[in-house]
Amino acid sequence: MAIKLKSSIDHFPEEKREALRHIARLVVDEFGDEIELVILYGSYARGDWVEELAPDGVHFQYQSDYDILVVTRDQVHKHSLRWEKVKKAFYTHRGPSLQLECDTIGFLNHMIEQGYYFYVDVAKEGIALYDSGRQTLSEPKILTPAEALAKAQAHYDTWYKSAEGFFKGYHFYMSQSERNIAAFTLHQVTERFLTVYLLVHTDYKPRTHDLDKLTPLAAAHDVEILKVFPKGTQLAKDRFVLLCRAYVDARYAPSYSIAREDLDYLAERVKFLQELVRRTCLEKIENLKKQSDDERKSV
C-alpha cells in the first residue's frame, strides 16, 4: 500500500507553526510548480525535539534543527544559489536552524521501493508542509531482519574499523606536533563515525564531507547526537568550525592554525561520539540478530 503523508502541524506551538509555514512558503515562492512536496522529518516530525539552554540562560547548548526534505519534479536541487537564497531568507527568523535536503520525486520513490530506511522513515513519520497533490509515494519494500542485519553488519565492520584506524593516526600526528595534519585526520575520524551511525541506523549517507551537514542529519534520527558538539558558548562553536574547516584548510590554507588545547577538546568530543556510535550501533545489530533468529525459528 502506498504511503500517505501526515499533514497536520496543529500540535506545535504557534511560533513553530508559523516558522514551518514560512519554510514552505519560501520554497514554493522560489521554485513554483517544480515543487511537489515539502516534508518535515526527523525529531520535530516525531515529537522528540530538544531545546536545552546553556548555563547563561540565553544561548542553546543543544537545539534540534528543522529537518526538511523538498521533493521536486526534476533536477532543481542543482540550483545551489537559489537554495542559499531560501535559507538566507529563513534565517531572518529566530529559532532553530534549517537543514534542507532535496530529491526528485522519482528518486524518492525509488529509494522507498528499495527499502532504504531513511526514506521509508521520512515517508512514514514525515509531515507534509506543502503538497502539490500531483504525486503519490510508493509502497515501501520491507527488508527481512536477515537482510537488514547483513547490511548493518557490513556497514559497521567497514566504517568503524576505518574510523578507529584514523583515530590512531590522529594520536600519532599529535605525538609529532603536526597539529594541522592531526586536525585533518580528526575530521576524517569524525566523518567516519558519523558515517557508521548513519549507515547502520538509516542506510543512507549523502555524498558530502561537511560535518555541519552530517551531524544534524544523524541528530535528525537521534537527538543524543546533538550532545557531541554542544554550542552553548562561542568557544565551543569556534572549535567545531575549526574541525569542519580542517578537511580543506588544514591541508591547503597557510593561514589555518589550531591550538593543542582546541584539538584536545575536539578529540574528547569525538571520543564521546565514538562511544555513542559503538553502543547504539551494536544495540541495533543485536536487535536485528534477535529478530532474524526469531524469524528463522518460526519458519
Q: Is residue 137 part of a domain?
A: no
Assign residue 69 the CATH number of its domain. Answer: 3.30.460.10
- Same domain assignment for residues 278 and 206: yes
Are residues 67 and 40 in contact, defined by beta-carbon separation less than 8 angstroms?
Answer: yes
* CA–CA gap between residue 93 and residue 279 (Å, rounded): 37
Residue 54 pLDDT level (bands cut at 50, 70, 90): confident
206: Cα within 13 Å, side-chain hemisphere = 16
* Cβ count within 10 A of residue 254: 7
Domain boundary among 101, 131, 161: 131
Reported as type and span, the H/E element at residue 3 is none
**Which of these three, 131, 166, 181, is where a domain ends?**
131
Q: What pLDDT score was predicted for residue 92?
A: 63
Q: What is the pLDDT of residues 238-278, one digit of tens each?
A: 999 999 999 999 999 999 999 999 999 999 999 999 999 99
Among 87, 103, 131, residue at a domain's last position: 131
Comparison of pLDDT for 279 and 142, the residue scoring more: 279
Residues 122 and 201 occupy one common structural domain: no
User: Do 40 and 112 share a structural domain?
Assistant: yes
- Cell 531513511 found at: 118
Q: How far is CA 220 from CA 40, 121, 171, in A?
A: 11, 11, 30
Same domain, 162 and 290: yes
In a domain, 38, yes or no: yes
Residue 2: predicted pLDDT:
67
> Residue 97 domain-assigned?
yes
| 35 part of a folded domain | yes
Structural domain containing residue 92: 14-131
**8 falls within a domain:** no
Q: How far is Cα 90 from Cα 289, in angstroms, rounded to an integer?
A: 44
Look at 220 and 166; give whichever has higher pLDDT: 166
What residues pair up with 278 in beta bridges, in sequence order?
none
The answer to whether 26 and 70 are in contact (CB under 8 A) is no
Average pLDDT over residues 142-171: 96
pLDDT digit string, tens, across residues 95-112: 788 888 899 999 999 999
